[in-house]
Chains A and B, each alone.
Chain A
Amino acid sequence: AQSVTQLDSQVPVFEEAPVELRCNYSSSVSVYLFWYVQYPNQGLQLLLKYLSGSTLVKGINGFEAEFNKSQTSFHLRKPSVHISDTAEYFCAVSDYLQRGAGNMLTFGGGTRLMVKP
Chain B
Amino acid sequence: SQTIHQWPATLVQPVGSPLSLECTVEGTSNPNLYWYRQAAGRGLQLLFYSVGIGQISSEVPQNLSASRPQDRQFILSSKKLLLSDSGFYLCAWDESLGSTGELFFGEGSRLTVL
Give chain B's interface residues, CB within 8 Å of chain A. 6, 32, 34, 42-44, 46, 49-51, 57, 59, 88, 90, 92, 94, 96-108, 110
Contact = CB atoms under 8 A, between A and B. Distances in A.
Nearest to B103: A105
Interface residues of A, number: 27
A109 B43 contact: yes
A44 interface: yes
A105 B6 CA distance: 21
Q: Which of B44, B46, B99 has the most CB of A within 10 A?
A: B44
17 contacts: A32-B100, A41-B110, A42-B107, A43-B90, A44-B90, A44-B92, A44-B103, A45-B105, A94-B100, A99-B101, A100-B96, A100-B97, A102-B50, A103-B34, A103-B57, A109-B43, A110-B43
